[in-house]
Amino acid sequence: MNITFASSNGETIDQHFGWSKSFYLYKVNKQTRELLRVIDSSQEPEGEKEKLDYKIGTIEDADIMYCTQIGPMASKMIQAAGVHPVRVAEGESIEDAIAKLQEMLNDAPAPWLLRIFYKAQARENA
C-alpha cells in the first residue's frame, strides 16, 4: 500500500491536509516500509476547490493519507479520488503510525484496511 503523511519535517504528522506544503509517500506492507518520495505541494492555485483538486492530485498515488485535520469537503473529495483519509493527533511520529498500521495488518485488520490492502495488492500484481 502507498501511504502519504502530511508533514513539515518527515518525522511527525503535523499538518492539516489543505495547508500542508509537503507529503511523504511510503510503500508499506505487513513487514517493510520504504520512503518512495517527498511530494512538494507548495505551488497551489487560488480558490478553495482548485486548491483541493491540486492537493489531491499531488497525492494520487496514495491509498491512505494521514494528517492532523481535514475539512469535510476535502474529506469527501479525497475519498472520491480513492484515498482514505486518517486523522491523528498532531505530533504523532510517522514511524509510530506505520508500526501501528503494520500491527493492525498482522493482527486483526479493520474491514476498511483489508479493502485497501487487497486493492493495493491487486494493483501491484496487475
Tens of pLDDT, residue by residue, the chain (126 residues): 999 999 999 999 999 999 999 999 999 999 999 999 999 988 878 888 888 899 999 999 999 999 999 999 999 999 999 999 999 999 999 999 999 999 999 998 999 999 999 999 888 887
- Per domain, the residue ranges of the chain are 2-125
- Residue type (1 letter), 31: Q
Which DSSP symbol is given to 19?
G
What's the confidence (pLDDT) of residue 125?
86
Rounded to 5 degrees, what are φ and ψ at 60?
A: -60, -20
Its CATH class, for the domain covering 2-125, is: alpha beta
Rounded to 5 degrees, what are φ and ψ at 48?
A: -65, -50
